[in-house]
């Protein structure tokens, strides 16, 4: 028998358990293959209980996406206060990687699931809002650095710079999450890989002086 919900704290704890179970099943089996009944069974509750919290699977998926994207953006708020723009770009990359590696299931669903559901049609996160959108944070800082003339003159598209930096960090993180335990690759330390990738990328983007 599942425990009875006695307080608001219990309710919030149950909601978190539902989100965790849904996220894990969505990653393991794919979104379309998972039912509300299976999610409920994983946490030893009835599907009826889930419907008290979420109207349907789409609403549950939206809640998972919103929570994860807000958590990622929230982790960067202090970083956004760093005065040096290049150090802020580095710190954003490190913070992003830390989130990915500490929360691999979150990251898989957000950025590694085929036809990822956490898009503009489903999520309520305000794209472009630096309080809620980690990509908007990176894009904002890169644009500031671009306006300050810190990049090479032949690099003329600040959004392309932001997307390339994002792709570099994502590449290291996704390989670590997907293949980091494989013994056929003699992986260097993950911190060394992240730092080396950022150094080489910024070296190619920034003015030599």
Q: Is the pLDDT assigned to residue 2 strictly greater than 70?
A: no
Q: Answer yes or no: do 139 and 71 share one domain.
A: yes
Domain shared by 89 and 143, yes or no: yes
Name the residue among 20, 194, 21 with its Cα closest to residue 100.
194
Residue 88: how many CB atoms within 10 A of its CB?
22
pLDDT for the residue numbered 51: 92
Pick the more confident residue, 6 or 61: 61
**Count of domains observed in the chain:** 2
For range 60-67, the mean pLDDT: 88
Give the burial class of 208: count Cβ atoms within 10 A of its Cβ; 0-12 exposed, 13-18 middle, 19 or more buried.
Answer: exposed
Which domain range does residue 95 map to?
Answer: 66-205
Does residue 36 sit within a domain? yes
> Does residue 41 sit within a domain?
yes
For residues 34 and 120, membership in a common domain is answered with no
**Do residues 164 and 186 both lie within one domain?**
yes
**Residue 149, C-beta contacts closer than 8 angstroms, at least 6 positions apart:** 207
pLDDT tens digits, 111-170: 988 655 555 544 555 667 778 889 999 999 999 999 999 999 999 999 999 999 999 999
Q: What is the CATH number of the domain that holds 28?
A: 1.10.10.60
Its pTM stands at: 0.84
Residue 123 lies in a domain: yes
Indicate whether 59 belongs to any domain: no
pLDDT in tens, 67-115: 998 999 999 999 999 999 999 999 999 999 999 999 999 999 889 886 5
The residues, ordered by sequence, that sit 6+ positions from 162 with a Cβ below 8 Å of its Cβ are: 135, 138, 139, 142, 143
Instruction: Indicate whether 30 and 124 sit together in one domain.
Output: no
> What mean pLDDT value characterizes the chain?
89
Pair (17, 80) in one structural domain: no
129 and 182 part of one domain: yes
Q: Over 80: is that where the pLDDT of 196 sits?
A: yes
For the domain that residue 132 is a member of, what is the CATH number?
Answer: 1.10.357.10
Note whether residue 111 is domain-resident. Answer: yes
């Amino acid at each position: 028998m599942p425990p009875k919900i006695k307080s608001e704290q219990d309710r919030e704890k149950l909601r978190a358990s539902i989100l965790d179970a849904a996220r894990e099943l969505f990653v393991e089996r794919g979104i379309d293959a998972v039912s509300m009944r299976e999610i409920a069974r994983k946490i030893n509750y009835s599907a009826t209980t889930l419907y008290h919290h979420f109207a349907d699977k789409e609403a549950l998926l939206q809640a998972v996406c919103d929570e994860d994207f807000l958590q990622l953006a929230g982790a960067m708020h202090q970083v956004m206060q760093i005065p040096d723009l290049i150090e802020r770009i580095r710190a954003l990359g490190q913070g992003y990687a830390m989130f990915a590696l500490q929360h691999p299931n979150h990251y898989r669903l957000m950025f590694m699931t085929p036809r990822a559901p956490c898009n503009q049609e489903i999520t309520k996160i305000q794209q472009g809002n630096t309080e809620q959108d980690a990509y908007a944070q990176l894009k904002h800082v890169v644009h500031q650095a671009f306006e300050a003339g810190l990049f090479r003159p032949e690099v003329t598209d600040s959004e392309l710079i932001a997307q390339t930096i994002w792709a570099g960090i994502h590449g290291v993180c996704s390989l670590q999450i997907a293949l980091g335990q494989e013994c056929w690759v003699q992986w260097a330390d993950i911190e060394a890989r992240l730092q080396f990738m950022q150094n080489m990328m910024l070296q190619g983007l920034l003015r030599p002086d």
